[in-house]
């Protein structure tokens, strides 16, 4: 069995983290574009606060990794397929919330 010095192991972990961060950033950019086009086609917009949008998109990706679906990070996942299917972004309620409140619950989408 080959023993890897800590420094090499640590360097390898940093490289993997860097690759994962780059892949995650690319995925975030792709989803921002996808959700932005969806919003535009439906008469609303992504939240103009880019940090908020990135935080929400990262939450969607965490939920996708954990549960296999991009559940809204602002809604509790009950692990009941029928109930939870309404919570996949864009969620079942977002259009009504935007009409009523000017934004969806998580603030990903807002009125223009």
Q: 62-85 pLDDT, tens per residue?
A: 999 999 999 999 999 999 999 999
- CATH 3.90.460.10 for the 6-110 domain, yes or no: yes
Rounded to 10°, the helix 6-41/50-67 angle is 110
Q: State the burial class of residue 45 (Cβ atoms within 10 Å of its Cβ: 0-12, 13-18, 19+).
A: middle
Do 74 and 106 form a contact (C-beta atoms < 8 A)?
yes
* Per-residue model confidence (pLDDT) at position 14: 53
Record the pTM: 0.80
Cα–Cα distance, 85 to 101 (Å, whole number): 23
Mind listing the pLDDT tens digit for each residue in 5-61? Answer: 445 544 544 554 444 677 889 999 999 999 999 999 999 999 999 999 999 999 999
pLDDT at 1 over 70: no
Cα–Cα distance, 94 to 112 (Å, whole number): 14
Residue ranges covered by each domain of the chain: 6-110
Q: How far are the Cα atoms of 17, 40, 69, 94 from residue 72, in angstroms, in the given order?
A: 25, 19, 9, 10
* Per-residue model confidence (pLDDT) at position 20: 61
């Amino acid at each position: 069995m080959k023993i890897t010095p800590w420094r090499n192991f640590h360097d390898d972990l940093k490289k993997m983290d860097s690759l994962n961060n780059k892949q995650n950033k690319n995925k975030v950019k792709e989803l921002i574009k996808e959700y932005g086009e969806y919003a535009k086609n439906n008469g609303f917009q992504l939240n103009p606060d880019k940090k908020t949008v990135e935080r929400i998109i990262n939450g969607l990706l965490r939920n996708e990794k954990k549960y296999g679906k991009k559940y809204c990070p602002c809604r509790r996942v009950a692990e009941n397929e029928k109930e939870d299917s309404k919570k996949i972004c864009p969620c079942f309620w977002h259009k009504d919330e935007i009409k009523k409140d000017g934004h969806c619950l998580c603030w990903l989408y807002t009125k223009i």
